[in-house]
Chains A and B, each alone.
Chain A
Amino acid sequence: MSKGSELVITGISRSFGAVRALDQFSLTITPGELVCLLGPSGCGKTTALRIVAGLEKADSGSVFLDGEDLLAKDAAQRDIGMVFQSYSLFPNMTVAENISYGLKVRKNSKQKISQRVDEMLELVSLQSKINNFPHQLSGGQQQRVALARALAIEPRVLLLDEPLSALDAQVRTQIRDEIRRIQLESGTTTLFVTHDQEEAMAISDRVGVMQHGRLEQIDSPNTLYNKPATTFVAGFVGITNYIPSVVESKGEVQVLGQLLDISEHSQAVKKGEEVRAMVRPESIQIEKASHGPTVITKSFLGPMTRIGIDAGLKDLIYAELSSKDAKKFEMGDHVTVTIKTDSVMVSHA
């Protein structure tokens, strides 16, 4: 279908009054790549997306699509496809009319339009709904039509603004996989915005974690998870235990009786300072013991089980093991808690 385009965003800044929504935001998306912007509300991800779309103005910086200056163009001239969070289908038009809207703008022939509509409906598997109105469709179906409508015009960039946030949990998983499949099939360069880290990690080539208008780290999901560059990223992506610890010396911290190295991306700390060590649940190892920390909760998550342990700290420590291994442990059992990694990230308490 469409050859992938390269999107180069450089130094975009945008303020709303006193609030700095974006601060020197830069990002390059390679052709055919799906990049996700992930972050909490107000981090600037939506603003960045809307600036690329042309729905918002940038105070400074540039956006180039295949070498063309995008910011110099009107929103309607940018050749982008956009999917919104909800309610974006035109309610007075059928599915077919919605999908053909962009094509009518481009003055395609009736025959070509009809053919393209059929293609798109096949792509999103909604052929039977061709003459229905949006209010007759479920939320998931509406979003699929919205996707079809955006892709019908063969856009050079596909922009998605939290498209799954308004959907039910189960539908969400289905649709997000659909989106990824369709994106790979069409090879369209895509920018996806969400606050749901599981979603971002599941379908993206790269994920950019944002906070306070700045890009904290952009990497593959794997790298982001295993090598977080800042404590914010470490805490935002995946589940983390924050274990109260004491800094032993420069570069070492005492956690639950173990002496571990402080990883280099941690916040700067002083000797003797009380800090929090960030440990992933899968790095926690537990063995049965006669006394000591107690198993308080067991949450069955399917292939894995999360066990909550009371080690005399303010919060429970969570360990994640395969459900098979977890069978050994019952509520009330005493266990020893060991951290399996050599180094941990620390942050101020």
Chain B
Amino acid sequence: MNQRTVVPGSEKVRELGISGRKFSIPLPLLPFFIFVGYFLAWPITKVFIASLKSNDNKWTLSNYGPLLHGVYLHSFIVSIKIGLITALLGSIFGGLFAFVIDSYAGPRLTSVLDSISAVFANSGGVPLAFTFLASFGANAGLIKLLKRWGWDLYAEGFSIFSFTGICLVYIFFQAPLMVLVFKPALKGLRKEWREASTSLGGSNAMYLRKIAIPILFPSFVGSFLLLFAGGFSAFATASALTVGNVPLIPLVIGNLINGNVISNKTHLGASLAIGAIVIAFFAMSGYVWAQRKSTQWRK
């Protein structure tokens, strides 16, 4: 037997690798951990350190000050708002659609819709922004059509280059993402529960109220949080759609490290980046917690 390789389930695994005091990494997993360590953990650590340093390289918390008021706080709030609104609308529409499809659609239609959802959910970014420019921009066919019918959206102050515009665009991938992420939870609702409830005399409303909704709730919240994190952190679509008029954190950070502003603000970019990580991290932890909660009733 080849001594270099791993014998399933044996102690040899631990010997061939790096051992710390309490934690050892077996040899086969080393490449993964090294890669992730260098290209994920290390950059984030560096940002964190940079956020705690001032321009003359001394430890300081001053970079975090600006986050708590003024322009930067406002950007955080706007980003959070966009995240919350698009997540809410996306999860409601996506959730309802997923529910209808799951309950009533046949298997072929379901798999077609699944693939379509996957496509739309991943269609964010620049192409999506351009698509919306084409459909809702000032020269778009749709806008012109509506104008002909007497409804001049742009005269009423609508613009694709606005908060509302961004929300509209974001929902385009949030809702399909919700369908993708929430579907498995819906599938987890066993039909025996519904049938048992019916056989015991329970109405549809009772089943929903006492069984379906309580069971689905953690997954719904988790999916919502996932959508929020995505909406909050989205960069590409926003940068293609705004001309600097909507202050979103990802864009602000981008500007700072692009050197568009004076260089003594770069450490500020680091602290903003950490701030963004913290927010997204909380949301995703909520997602992980919710996922675990949703399977707690399964053995």
Which residues on A are within 8 Å of B, measured CB to CB? 53-55, 75-82, 84-93, 101-102, 105-106, 133-135, 146, 149-150, 153, 159
What are 11 sample pairs from A and B whose C-beta atoms fall under 8 A apart? Answer: A76-B198, A76-B203, A78-B199, A80-B199, A82-B199, A84-B196, A88-B193, A90-B197, A92-B215, A149-B200, A153-B201
Give bound CA distance, A10 to B244, whole Å.
Answer: 76
Q: How far is the CB of B233 from chain A (nearest CB, A)?
A: 33
Tell me if A105 and B202 are in contact (CB < 8 A): yes
Across the interface, which residues of B come within 8 angstroms of A153, CB to CB? 200-201
Residue in chain A with minimal CB distance to B195:
A55
Tell me if B215 and A76 are in contact (CB < 8 A): no
Across the interface, which residues of B come within 8 angstroms of A146, CB to CB? 196
Q: Determine which residue in B200, B214, B215 has the highest number of CB atoms from chain A within 10 A of its CB, and name it.
A: B200
A-B pairs with beta carbons under 8 A, tally:
79
Tell me if B198 and A133 are in contact (CB < 8 A): no
Residue in chain A with minimal CB distance to B297:
A91
Interface assignment of B206: CB less than 8 Å from any CB of chain A: yes
Across the interface, which residues of B come within 8 angstroms of A102, CB to CB? 200-202
Across the interface, which residues of B come within 8 angstroms of A54, CB to CB? 198-199
Which residues on B are within 8 Å of A, measured CB to CB? 190, 192-193, 195-203, 206, 210-211, 214-215, 296-299
Given contacts A91-B215, A105-B202, contact A84 B195 (CB under 8 A): yes
Given contacts A86-B192, A90-B193, A92-B214, contact A101 B200 (CB under 8 A): yes
Tell me if B297 and A135 are in contact (CB < 8 A): yes
Q: Determine which residue in B201, B203, B210, B299 has the highest number of CB atoms from chain A within 10 A of its CB, and name it.
A: B201
Give bound CA distance, A16 to B236, whole Å.
Answer: 51
Tell me if B202 and A76 are in contact (CB < 8 A): yes
Residue in chain A with minimal CB distance to B213:
A92
Give bound CA distance, A90 to B195, whole Å.
Answer: 11
Residue in chain A with minimal CB distance to B202:
A105
Tell me if B201 and A135 are in contact (CB < 8 A): no
Give bound CA distance, A55 to B206, whole Å.
Answer: 17
Tell me if B199 and A92 are in contact (CB < 8 A): no
Q: Determine which residue in A86, A88, A150 has the highest number of CB atoms from chain B within 10 A of its CB, and name it.
A: A88
Tell me if B192 and A84 are in contact (CB < 8 A): yes
Across the interface, which residues of B come within 8 angstroms of A77, CB to CB? 201
Residue in chain B with minimal CB distance to A89:
B196
Across the interface, which residues of B come within 8 angstroms of A55, CB to CB? 195, 198-199
Give bound CA distance, A261 to B203, whole Å.
Answer: 60
Given contacts A92-B211, A134-B297, contact A76 B201 (CB under 8 A): yes
Partner of A106, one of B199, B201, B210: B201
Across the interface, which residues of B come within 8 angstroms of A88, CB to CB? 190, 192-193, 195-196
Give bound CA distance, A91 to B190, whole Å.
Answer: 10
Tell me if A105 and B206 are in contact (CB < 8 A): yes
Across the interface, which residues of A come within 8 angstroms of B203, CB to CB? 76, 105
Q: How far is the CB of B93 from chain A (nearest CB, A)?
A: 26
Across the interface, which residues of B come within 8 angstroms of A84, CB to CB? 192, 195-196
Residue in chain B with minimal CB distance to A50:
B195
Tell me if B202 and A101 are in contact (CB < 8 A): yes
Residue in chain B with minimal CB distance to A55:
B195
Tell me if B299 and A135 are in contact (CB < 8 A): yes
Residue in chain A with minimal CB distance to B206:
A105
- Given contact pairs A88-B195, A92-B297, A153-B201, a sample of 20 additional A-B residue pairs in the complex whose CB atoms are under 8 Å apart: A53-B199, A54-B199, A55-B198, A76-B198, A76-B199, A78-B199, A82-B196, A87-B190, A87-B192, A90-B196, A91-B297, A92-B215, A93-B211, A101-B202, A102-B202, A105-B200, A105-B201, A133-B297, A134-B297, A135-B296
